[in-house]
Structure formats: C-alpha cells, structure tokens
Structure 1
C-alpha cells in the first residue's frame, strides 16, 4: 500500500496520533489525523519541484506581462528618436501600440509546412466538391434519361395502339365499299409480314421500312381522304366539307 493510501488502522498510523489529548475520543483523533495528513499532502503538491517546461512557460508569461525597461537597448534607441511609452509607432504615432503577439511552435515541422498543409487541404476540398458535383450531374442525367425513355416508350405504345385501331377501321370501311384487298398489306390487321416479304423479294429496288408512326400518318390520311373518317373523332362524316367543318384536325394533338 502506498503512502497516499495509508491504512488508518495500522500501528504506524496510530503511532502518529499518540500526541493527541488522552481525553479526546478515538473517532475524533482519527478525523484530526486524517485532516492533518490531507493538509500535508496538499503542501507537498504545492512545493514539489516544477518541470523545466513549466518553468519556461511561467518565465515567458512573466516576461510578456512586464513592460520593457529603459535598460533595453532597442527601447532606449526609440526614446532617443522621440518615442514615449504607450505611444503608437510611426511619425504620427498612429502605428501599433501593443507588441506583436508571440506564437509558439509546438511541433517539429519545418517553416512553411502549415501553408503546404493548408494548400493541400484546399485542393482536396476542391477535388471533393468536383466529385460531388459530377456525381449529382450524373444522377440528374440518369433521372432525365430514365424519364425520357419512359416517355418515349409510352408514346410508342400509344402509336402502336392507334395504328391497330386505324387498321381495324380501314378493313371495316373498305369491306363496306366492296374492297376485298387492301391497298397496302399493312392497311388491314393480319395481312402483313408474309405478303410484304414476298412482294419485297420480287422488287429489286431497296425499299425503306416504314415506322409505326409513318404507317399511322399514312393510314389516317387514307381514312380521311377515301372514307371521310376521323380516327380521333371515331366518326365517319358525310363528305369532305362535313369532315372539314366538324373535325378539329387531322392529328391526335388537335383533339386534346
């Protein structure tokens, strides 16, 4: 057991309290002895030898708090030039009054390392911000590409559905007029791939394949011109004048 944790019931400790008056109770004598021991420890801590670093710090702080005396050569030279204590530097006395603050260098790094570290940190921050900005732009582009793709696919599905409706209407209207063979194989539903492939083999010239959008435009124009039928209105008009007078237009957008 260390000195700081002395056993208060040991003979060594009890021998220290033999000088207490014999009439005092044992509990009181023990308390007084403990109190005396604590005071002695506090005194030892206050009187312990200070380290070199602590002495250096105290000396520096004391020097900084002490004004420069007249014995200082630099201060004496300033006084000869007309300077007075408490006056600002410069010809007009408007310069610095307090000394330049002292900055203690606490590490072993060479001079200029702080600027190098600061510049490196700024560069890393700049690169990080660029990466974050590029990531955000890529995410935004991905979202926009996805929306465009969804919108395109939805429009394509609508065009396919409108094309099938126009083919059924064309077959029905042609049949009502006694037409047994469509003008083009794809004008009617179900009369498509085989007939077109056979016709294409007979022709030597290369034929550009029509898209669903192209077919829809051609077929709606045929229905309006031959049968006075508007796919978007769902109505077969009496004649061209009736069609032009009562139909909003020849596109789906005109009917919205």
Structure 2
C-alpha cells in the first residue's frame, strides 16, 4: 500500500466519520459531507461579497465628505493660480463650488439608456397630453354644435309661430278691407278642410313648379310682413295698424323683430 492511499481503517478516516451514526451507508455519508462543504463555501463567498460592497460604500462616502488635500496635484496647481478652498471656480469665482455629484449606476443598462428612457417617457407624456387636448377640443366642439343646433331649432320655431300670426292678421285685415281671396295662397292660413283636400288631390304640375321655387318660412315671413306694412300699414311686431305710411315710418322702430327688441 502506498503512502498517498489512506487505510480505510485508519484513525484519520474514523475521525471524519465519527459523528455519523452507525449503520449509515458510505455513499450517503460522502454526499452529506460534500453538501456541507458546498454550503460552507457559498456562505463564505456571500459574506465576502457583502463585506466588499459595504467597504466600498463606506470608503466612497468618506471620500466625498472629506475635501481634497494639499497633496493633490490638481489642487496644488489651482492654489498656485490663486484659488482658495471654498471659492467658486473661474476668474471671478462665480463657478461651481461643490464637486460634480456621483451617479452610481445600479442596473445593467448601457450608456445612454437613462436618456433614452427619459426621452421615451417625455414622448409618452406629450402624446397623452395631445390626446387629452384633442378630446377636450372635440367635446367643446360637440357642445358648441349642440348649442348651435338648439339655437337654430328655437329660431325656426319662433319664425314659424310669427308666420302663423302674420297669416291670421293678413286674413283678418284683408277681410275687413273687402278682399275675398289672398294675393298668394299661403298669405292666409289653411283650414283643416283645405288641408284634407290638398292631401286627397295629390301633387299636380302646378305644385311641382311651386316646389322648384319653394320659399322658406323666413322668406314667407319677410314677404308677408312687407305686404301687411305696405297694404294695411300694419306692423306685426308692434301689433298696431297705423293711419298711413308716414305714421308707420315715424312710430314703428323697423320692419324686423330685431328692431323691436
């Protein structure tokens, strides 16, 4: 037996396995010993790494808190040029006083990654603001369109009501002056019987020609009020029949509803 080989019955081998209970197989004992050794090594490595990081942090903080000594060559050159400790850099001393702060990198991103992230975040924020601004503009436009539509509908209803009033006034004044038929069919309001007859007869050639030049409610109102003023010296907005044209022009504010507001 050579010197390098240990006797399996030697005291050294028995010392290594003395804590192992009798009856446990050799393979199991070897595996347990290897596992304990690996765990011990891993614990030592972690402790060493932790100590190294702590030491690095402490040394960095100590260096930042302490000023540059006179032994520093760069500081010595500054002093020769007239610089004093605590003074700002530059000819007039208006430059930086404190050193540039350190930016410790803790992630694995490459150089320029932080700027890229900031730029991307700013672009996303700008895009979000544009969406919010566009949404607000659309909502404001929709509200304005709604208000305009409501205002137009209200004006249309008022024009229609004024036209019905002017038609009734025209029929009454024409009848009082011996006129038995309106100058235009729509000058007088239609009664229910006439409306039923028109619906039963259906459209004819004359109706089709009228549809081609059909007047709006606003046009009819303007024409009819002008007729009442010129023929009967009557102002729909004043509700008064004047004596003559001079009396009408002198006492009536105007020929539109806006003039009477």
**TM-score surpassing 0.5?**
yes
Q: Which residue of 1 aligns with 2:247?
A: 242
Q: CA deviation at 1:109?
A: 0.9
Q: Which residue of 2 aligns with 1:200?
A: 206
Which deviates more from structure 2 when the two are superposed, residues 116-125 or residues 192-201? 192-201
Q: Give RMSD over aligned pairs.
A: 3.4
Secondary structure (helix, strand or coil) at the match of 1:51 reads helix
How do residues 88-127 of structure 1 correspond to structure 2 at under 5 angstroms?
Answer: 94=93, 99-127=99-127
Higher relative CO (CA 8 A, sep ≥ 6), structure 1 or 2? Answer: 2
Closer, same or farther in 2 for the Cα pair 1:115/1:236, shift >3 Å? same
**TM-score scaled to structure 1, two decimals?**
0.67
Q: CA deviation at 1:242?
A: 2.1
Distance 1:129 1:91 in 2: 42
**TM-score scaled to structure 2, two decimals?**
0.65
Instruction: Tell me, yes or no, if the aligned pair for 1:185 and 1:196 is still in contact at 8 Å.
Output: no
Q: Structure 1 residue 156 and structure 2 residue 161: aligned?
A: no
Q: Structure 1 residue 255 and structure 2 residue 260: aligned?
A: yes
Q: Which residue of 2 aligns with 1:179?
A: 179
Q: Deviations over 1:187-209 (max 9, x none)?
A: 11117773995462585x97411
Closer, same or farther in 2 for the Cα pair 1:199/1:178, shift >3 Å? farther
Closer, same or farther in 2 for the Cα pair 1:197/1:255, shift >3 Å? farther
Instruction: Tell me, yes or no, if the aligned pair for 1:170 and 1:187 is still in contact at 8 Å.
Output: yes
Q: Deviations over 1:214-256 (max 9, x none)?
A: 0000001111111111111111222222222222221111211
Distance 1:255 1:93 in 2: 77
Q: Which residue of 2 aligns with 1:221?
A: 226
Number of corresponding residues: 205
Instruction: Tell me, yes or no, if the aligned pair for 1:86 and 1:97 is still in contact at 8 Å.
Output: no
Distance 2:173 2:88 in 1: 106
Q: Which runs of 5+ in 2 are unaligned?
A: 1-46
Q: Which residue of 2 aligns with 1:232?
A: 237
Q: Which runs of 5+ in 1 are unaligned?
A: 1-47
